[in-house]
A and B are shown apart, each in its own frame.
Chain A
Amino acid sequence: MKKRLIVLLGLTLMATCVVGAQSVSARSHSVRTESAAPSIPRCTASGNVTYMYWGDSGDNAAHKSSIAVAEKKCKGLHVNAIWDSGNYDTDLATKIGSGNAPDLFQLDASKRIPQYVSLGALAPLDSFVKQQKMDMNGIYWPQCVNELTYKGHLYGLPRTCSNQSLLFYNKEMFQARGVAFPTNNWTYSDLAAAAQKLSGTYSVPHDQTSQLRFGMAFNTDDFRTEQFMWDWGGDWLNSTLNKCTMTSPSAQAGLQFLHDLAYKVHGMPTAAQASGLPDYFGGFQKERYAMAFMGPWALDYAFGKKPGGQPQINFQWGAVLTPKGPASRQAVMASTGLVIYKKSHHKSAAFWLARFDSEGIGAVVTGAYGVDMPGATALWKYPSIVAEYGKPLLATIRQSNQTGRYPKLVPQYDKFWSVISADLQPFWQDQASVQQVTQKACADVTSQGLLH
Chain B
Amino acid sequence: MGVVAVPRPPRRRRALPVRGHGSRLAAYVVVVLISIASLFPLYWMLENSLRTAVDAGANVTLLPKTPWQWSNYSTMWNYLPFPMSTFLINSFVLAGLVTIGTVVSSALIAYGFARFRFFGREVFFAVIISTMMIPYAVMMIPQYALFINFFHWGSGGSLFGYHNLFQFLPQVVPAFFGSPIFIFLLRQFIRGIPFTLDEAAMVDGAGPLRIFWKIILPELRPALAAVMVLTFIGKWNDFLGPLIYLQDPHNWTVELALNGFVGRYGTSNLNLQMAASVIAIAPIAILYFIASRQIIEGVALSGVKG
Residues of A within 8 A of B (CB): 1-2, 4-5, 8-9, 12-13, 16-17, 19-20, 22-24, 26-27, 54-57, 60, 82-87, 90-92, 94-95, 97-100, 278-279, 281-282, 285-286, 301, 308, 310-311
Contact = CB atoms under 8 A, between A and B. Distances in A.
The contact size tier of chain B is: 35 or more
Interface of B: 1, 53-54, 74-75, 77-81, 83-86, 88-89, 92, 96, 144, 147-149, 152-156, 221, 225, 228-229, 243-245, 247-249, 252, 256, 259-260, 263-265, 267-269, 283, 286-287, 290-291, 294
Given A1-B291, A99-B154, A286 B85 contact: no
B290 A278 contact: no
B77 A23 contact: yes
A90 B154 CA distance: 12
Q: Of A9, A17, A86, A99, which is in contact with the most chain B CB atoms at under 10 Å from its CB? A: A86
Classify the interface of chain B: helix, strand, loop or mixed: helix
Given A12-B286, A84-B248, A86-B259, A94 B154 contact: yes
B287 A8 contact: yes
A426 to B, nearest CB: 24
Nearest to B252: A86
A23 B78 contact: yes
A16 B282 CA distance: 12
A308 B53 CA distance: 13
Given A16-B85, A23-B78, A85-B260, 19 more contacts: A1-B225, A4-B290, A5-B290, A17-B85, A20-B83, A24-B83, A26-B74, A57-B78, A84-B81, A84-B248, A86-B263, A94-B244, A97-B149, A98-B147, A98-B152, A98-B155, A99-B152, A100-B155, A286-B54
B77 A20 contact: yes
A438 B88 CA distance: 47
Contacts of A87: 243, 259, 263
A95 B85 contact: no
B148 A16 contact: no
A19 B85 contact: yes
B247 A94 contact: yes
Enumerate the 8 nearest inter-chain pairs by beta-carbon distance, A residue then B residue, closest first.
A98-B154, A20-B85, A98-B148, A91-B247, A16-B85, A23-B77, A100-B155, A100-B156
A92 B221 CA distance: 44
B89 A100 contact: no
A4 B1 CA distance: 12
B265 A85 contact: yes
A54 B252 CA distance: 15
A13 B154 contact: no
A411 B78 CA distance: 37
B32 to A, nearest CB: 29
B268 to A, nearest CB: 5
Classify the interface of chain A: helix, strand, loop or mixed: helix
Contacts of B244: 94
A82 B248 contact: yes
Nearest to A278: B268
Contacts of A99: 148, 152, 154, 156
Contacts of B269: 310
B189 to A, nearest CB: 16
A280 B265 CA distance: 14
A5 B83 CA distance: 25
B270 to A, nearest CB: 10
Given A20-B77, A83-B249, A85-B249, A8 B89 contact: no
Contacts of A82: 248-249
A98 B156 CA distance: 9
Contacts of B74: 22-23, 26
A84 B84 CA distance: 15
B247 to A, nearest CB: 4
B281 to A, nearest CB: 13
Contacts of B84: 16, 19-20
A54 to B, nearest CB: 8
Nearest to A21: B85
Contacts of B243: 87, 90
Contacts of B286: 8, 12
A40 to B, nearest CB: 28
Nearest to A302: B268
Contacts of B247: 84, 91-92, 94-95
A99 B286 CA distance: 40
Contacts of A95: 154-155, 247
Contact of A9 (B92, B225, B248, B294): B92
A19 B155 CA distance: 29
Nearest to A82: B248
A55 B96 CA distance: 31
Contact of B81 (A9, A60, A98, A310): A60
B160 to A, nearest CB: 16
A8 B252 CA distance: 22
Given A5-B290, A97-B149, A286-B54, A13 B156 contact: no
A12 B283 contact: yes
B84 to A, nearest CB: 7
Nearest to B256: A86
